[in-house]
Amino acid sequence: MEIPYILREIGFSDKEIRVYLSLLACGTCSARRLAKDNELTKYAINEALKSLRESGLISAYQKHKKQYFMAEDPEKLMELVVRREQGMVEMKRRISELLPELRSIYAHGGNQPSVKYYEGMKGVEIILKDVLSTMSSFPGEKIYRVFSSPRLREFIYSNYPNFTKDRIARQIKVQILVMGKESPNRPLMEQKTIPVKEGAPTYSFIYNNKVAFISLDENDNPTGVIIEDACIAETQRIVFDQLWRGSVRERRIPVEATIAEHL
């Protein structure tokens, strides 16, 4: 019989299928009658009836202080399938949005560097949040370093417009080596310019024992990667500090600057 197979494919258990088909055939039944006809325990019947009622396939009513159950029009089955299809589409969308965050949880084992990949602006947002959360828990001086590229600078904070506000609130400092045009002044920030006309389409963060790179593909879609390795991060800091000392222009925003002006 094809009906039980289809119902099983939709997600119903064998007990639920037996109870549902019994109600379709008899019209109205008590739980005791259903248990007897299907050779099921009281607990199994109650569980099946509860699930079928939640699905909208059956209903119940009271008569002489006794509860009876009846099947709804089989058209309800099609409505159930449509609802579940819509739910799966929404679930697929939500999982797609969560993939960058799920990937960020995943880490490689052993002593090898942990490498995590991110896609799209949601991935960029996760990287920015990781910078702040990592630096917030850092026991030493809370300062990270940035190589700033003009191609990404205009929209890198689009999904996290309060990034600078949150950074300042957490008293996290930043040193930025700027390629191209300088950024606006901000508290707890120092800038120096690298004398190049056009920088590569890559934005990088050096923070604690991590290095994050954000770049653009040929269609200007951002892709990010976080490498967690103390040696790699230290090497990047050495390169940054050498360039920092050799840069020709500097703009320093003192710690005492009025933070409220930038909130």
Q: Break the chain into its structural domains and give their ranges.
A: 2-72, 107-262
- 19-46: per-residue pLDDT in tens? 988 888 888 888 988 888 888 888 999 9
- What would be the CATH architecture of the domain defined by 107-262? 2-Layer Sandwich (3.30)
CATH number, domain 2-72 = 1.10.10.10
Q: Hey, do 2-72 and 107-262 end up sharing a CATH topology, with the first three levels equal?
A: no
pTM given for the model: 0.55
- 128-184: per-residue pLDDT in tens? 999 999 999 888 889 999 998 887 877 888 889 999 999 999 999 999 998 877 777
SS3 letters for the chain?
CHHHHHHHHHCCCHHHHHHHHHHHHHCEEEHHHHHHHHCCCHHHHHHHHHHHHHCCCEEEEEECCEEEEEECCCHHHHHHHHHHHHHHHHHHHHHHHHHHHHHHHCCCCCCCCEEEEEEHHHHHHHHHHHHHHHHHCCCCCCEEEEEECHHHHCCCCCCCCCHHHHHHHCCCEEEEEEECCCCCCCCCEEEEEECCCCCCCEEEEEECCEEEEEEECCCCCEEEEEEECHHHHHHHHHHHHHHHHHCCEEEEECCCCCHHHHC
